[in-house]
Amino acid sequence: MKRLIVVSNRLPYQVQESEGKVILRQSDGGLVTALKSYFEEEARKGGAVEKRWVGAADFPEKRWKKFKAQEGTEATFEIDPIFIEKKTYNKFYNGFCNATLWPLFHYFPSYVEYDEETFQAYEAVNRAFADMLLTFLQPGDTLWIHDYQLLLLPDMIRQKLPDISIGFFLHIPFPSYEIFRLLHRTWKEKIIRGMLGADLVGFHTHEYVQHFLKTVRMVAGHDHQFRSIVVDNRIIKTDLFPLGIDYAKFHDAANLPAVIEQRDTIRKNFQDKKIIFSVDRLDYTKGVTHRLVGFEKFLEAYPEWKEQVVFVLVVVPSRQIISKYNERLKLIEEQVGSINGKHSTLSWQPIIYRYSNLAFDELCALYEAADAALITPLRDGMNLVAKEYVASRAQEDGVLILSELAGAASEMGEALLVNPVDTIDMANAISTALTMPVQEQRHNMKLLQKRLQDYTVIHWVNDFLKQLEDVRVQQHEQETKAITANVAKHISDDFHHAGTRHLLLDYDGTLVPFARHPSQARPDENLLKLLGELSANTQTDITIISGRDSSTLEEWFSNLSLNLVAEHGASIRLKNGPWTHGEAIDQTWKPLIRPTLELFAQRSPGAFIEEKNHTLAWHYRNVDAELGFVRSRELLDNLFHLVRNGQLQIIDGNKVIEVRVAGVDKGNAARRLVDDHAYDFVLAIGDDKTDEDMFRALTEKAVTIKVGAGHTLAHYNIPSQQGVIQLLNKLAH
C-alpha cells in the first residue's frame, strides 16, 4: 500500500486529559483544517493510501502513551508526535521561527532578531524530525513537508534517502531576494539547500515562485527554465498552488440550526445597522491597527454612517510569549477604546471588540450576518478568512474588502482590493462596500464562489500530489546515462557500419581542456592529427561548433577539411568553402552592455571581457571561486534587468557569462547542417549550457553526449574531456 507522510511543526490534534480519559482535540490553523478535510474525504471514498502525520508534540510523552493504551483510538490517519526538549524547542519556535523567519518573510526586517543560538536550535529540531522520519520511511513513500519551521528538512532526508519522493509547501510569503539576503550567509545557504532537497517546491502565488527562483540563482547559482531547477543531476520543479478551503463545509453551514440561531441573534442586536466584520489572529502582519485607523477615517469622512454601522472586530490570541505580540494587543485595545470613546453615543458603539477564539458556529454566523468583511493584512501568504467569508454567503450577497498584499488577492479580483497602509483608500472602500447595489454584489460574489468551488482544498492536495508524481516521472525519464565500455562499443559499431556520418563537436571543454585564457587553449598536434584522420574519410563530415570567433577557428583549422561554426552559429564555413556570416546584425547594443561588464570586471580581480562579432563574454575562470560566484550572480541579475524586452540573450556558461543576439544558437546551426544531408549516423558532443540547444535540436536525429556531470538533455554522459578523445580515437581506428 502507498503511504503519504505529512510533516508539519504542528500536529492536527492536541492530546488532552480530562477525568482520567485522554482525548484528541483538533488544533486550529489553515493547514490542519485543509488536510484534515482531504483525509476525511479520502476516507469516505475508501482511498487505498495509508496516511500518517508527523509533528512536534505540545503534550507530555506520558499522556501520549496513556492515549495509545486506550481502546477505540483508531482514526482516518495516524499521528506520530516528536518529543523535543522544551528549552531547545522554545529557542527554535519562539526564536528562529517567529523572531527571525516570520518577520523577515513578511517584510518586517526591523523586527528580525539575528541569534546564532536560535539558528542552532532550528537545525537541531529539523534534525530531530529527520531522525524520527528515517526510522520508518520506506521506498515508495511520499513525504510532504510543510512550512517555514522545516525549511532544512527536505535536504536532511534527501542525503539519507536520495530516491524518496519529497514535496515541500511554504504557507507564508517567500520574500524578494533583497529581503531574504539580510539573513546570515550560512543561514540562507542552508535554507536554500534545504528547500532544494524536495522534488517539488510549492507556493501560494506566482510572485512567491519568482522570488524563490531568483533567490536560488543568487544564493546557490542554479538557474531555472520553465520553473524547473537542476541540482546534482536532479530536476526540481517549483509551482504555485493557491490553498483552497472546504467550500461545501462553509457554504452549507448556513443551514445549520446553531448557525441560523446565532446569525439571527446578531442581526437582531444590530437591527437596521450595517455590519462590518473581521477576524484575525493576533499578529503585527495582520494590519489591525491600520484597519482601525481606516475605519475611523471612514466615520470622519462619511458622517452620515454614524449610528448606522457597526464594526465587529475579533482578535484571536496567538504567541503571547513573544513581547511584540503583547505590545500589539495593547495598541489594539487602546485604539478601540479611543475610537469608541470619541465616536460613541448613548445608543451606539461603533466597534464591538472581542479578544478570544471563535467556535465554528459563531464564525459562520458572523460571516452570514456581516454585510462586508474587512480583511486587510499588511502581508499574508494566502488568507483563508477571505475565502471562508465568500463561501459562507449562501444568499450570494455581501462585499469582501481585501488587502492587495494578501496572497488571496491574486485570485480574488472581484473583491474591493485596497492598500492596507492607505487608510483613506480603505475608508473609501468601506463606503463603496456599504453602498454597492445588491445586483453588483451578487455578480461579484457568484464569480468568487465559482472560483472557490472549482479549486477547493481537495483539488489543492490532489494538484500538488499529482505534480509531485509527474516530476518524479520526469526525473526518471531524463536521468543521464553514463557511457560504459559496452555503450562506447555500440556507438563505435554504429559509426563504422554507417554509410554516411556527421560528427558535431564543441571545442573548449570537449576537444581541449579549459585554459586560464581562451588564447592558451590551442589545439595540439595530436588533436589536429586525430581530426585529420577522421575527416580523411569522404563519407564522414566533421563540424567544430563553438563559441569561438571565426578568425580564431580559421587560424587553427584552416588546413583541415572541416565545417566550422563560430559564435554558436552566427558564422559558418563549410569545409573548404568561404565563411558566411549572418545578416548584418545591429551592433549598437554593445556600448550599452559593455560598461556593466567592465564594472564587474573591475570588481572581480582576474575577470576579463572577450568581444566577438556578435557576442560579449565576461570570463571569471581566474577569479577567486567564492568571489567569482557572487559577482557572477550579481552580474546576471543586472543583465536580466538591462536586456529585458530587448533582442538579446544571456547565457550563463561554464565560468563565463555571454550576451548575444537572440535567435543565434548551436541548435539552429546544427539542425541546418544535419538537415542538408540524409546521414546514417550523427554524433554530437558538448560540455556547456550552450550545447543543450544542440542536444535539444538533435534529440531525434543524433546520438548526443554531454561531457562532465550534471543534468542534460543529451542521451549519454561522459566523465571528462579525455574520455571524448578516447572515444574519437576508437572511431578513427
Residue 324, classified by CB atoms within 10 Å of its CB into exposed (0-12), middle (13-18) or buried (19+), is middle
> From the centroid of its chain, how far is CA 173?
10
Which three cell numbers, joined as nine digits, stand for 456?
477547493
Those residues whose C-beta lies under 8 Å from the C-beta of residue 211, and which sit 6 or more positions away, are 174, 175, 176, 177, 180
175: left (phi over 0), alpha (psi -120 to 50) or beta: beta
C-alpha cell at 733: 581506428
The Cβ of residue 90 has, within 10 Å, a number of other Cβ atoms equal to 14
- Alpha helices, DSSP H only, in 344-478? 360-369, 384-392, 423-435, 438-454, 457-477
Q: Are 26 and 13 in contact (CB under 8 A)?
A: yes
How many of the other CB atoms lie within 10 Å of CB of 359?
Answer: 11
506, 652, 687, 693: the active-site residue: 506
Asked if 447 and 432 count as a contact pair (C-beta separation under 8 A), the reply is no
**Strand residue runs (E) in 535-605:** 540-545, 563-566, 571-573, 579-581
For residue 523, what is its C-alpha cell? 589545439
> If we measure between CA atoms, which residue out of 327, 307, 311 comes closest to residue 319?
327
526 CB-side CA count, 13 A: 7
Q: Which three cell numbers stand for residue 150?
A: 522545516
Query: 628 is written with which cell numbers?
Result: 567569482
- Looking at the chain, how many residues does it have? 733
Q: What whole-number distance in Å separates Cα of residue 60 and Cα of residue 299?
A: 50
What amino acid occupies position 495? F
Q: Quick one: which of 476, 529, 517, 434 has its CA closest to 733?
A: 529
Cα distances from 148 to residues 42, 105, 254, 276, 713, in angstroms, run 27, 9, 35, 33, 33
How far apart (Å, rounded) are the C-alpha atoms in residues 611 and 640? 19
- DSSP letter at 285 equals G
Q: How many helices (H) and strands (E) does the chain have?
A: 26, 30
User: What single string gives the DSSP state of each residue in 266-302?
Assistant: HHHHTTTSEEEEEEEES-GGG-HHHHHHHHHHHHHH-
Cα separation, 395 vs 251, in Å, equals 10
Does 246 participate in catalysis according to the annotation? no
Backbone angles phi, psi at 691, to 5 degrees: -80, -15
C-beta separation of 518 from 548 below 8 A: yes
d(CA 173, CA 189) in angstroms, rounded, equals: 18
Q: Report, as residue numbers or ranges, the catalytic residues.
A: 506
